[in-house]
Amino acid sequence: MAAFSASSPPVQQGAPSHRSLSSLPPRRQARVAAALAAMPARVRAWREQRERERAKAREAAERRQRLLAAGGPETGGSQRRSARSQALLEDLERQQRREEKRRQRRERQEAMKSALAAAEEAAAARPPPAGVSGGSS
């Protein structure tokens, strides 16, 4: 039996020794310092990503609840787990996704039209460059 003294903790085999950063080679010191400097930003990015994923999950759950409420009595109550109500809910979700895509497509087309009209107005208001004649040769 080995007796341990209270003054020094037991050393685990294979555990790295606790060296100071200054005892490392310079290139390794630089890598460790860079990693430590980048750590707060990485943690912040991870937390933001986790929050985005949670928000997305919450929105999906809320959307599903709205669809259940809009689906009427066929999708609500204890019947919610039946195959028919699940199929109905999936159809409602698919229809809502299609409508959302159509709305986004319309918005993009309207934005392109307005940008094109603004560019044409700006081009019409700008005088032609000097030395360019409007006639033919």
pLDDT of the residue at 12: 55
**Domain residues of the chain, as ranges?**
25-122
Q: What whole-number distance in Å separates Cα of residue 79 and Cα of residue 63?
A: 19
pTM equals: 0.43
What letters, b where the CB count within 10 A reaches 16 and e where it falls short, cover 38-59?
eeeeeeeeeeeeeeeeeeeeee
Q: Between helices 26-70 and 83-125, what is the axis angle to 10°? A: 110
Q: Where are the alpha helices (DSSP H) in the chain?
A: 26-70, 83-125
Over residues 45-62, the pLDDT tens digits come to 999 999 999 999 999 888
Higher pLDDT, 130 or 42: 42
Q: What whole-number distance in Å separates Cα of residue 3 and Cα of residue 32?
A: 37
8 Å CB contact between 72 and 92: no
pLDDT more than 90, % of the chain: 41
CA 70 to chain centre: 29
Over residues 37-48, the pLDDT tens digits come to 999 999 999 999
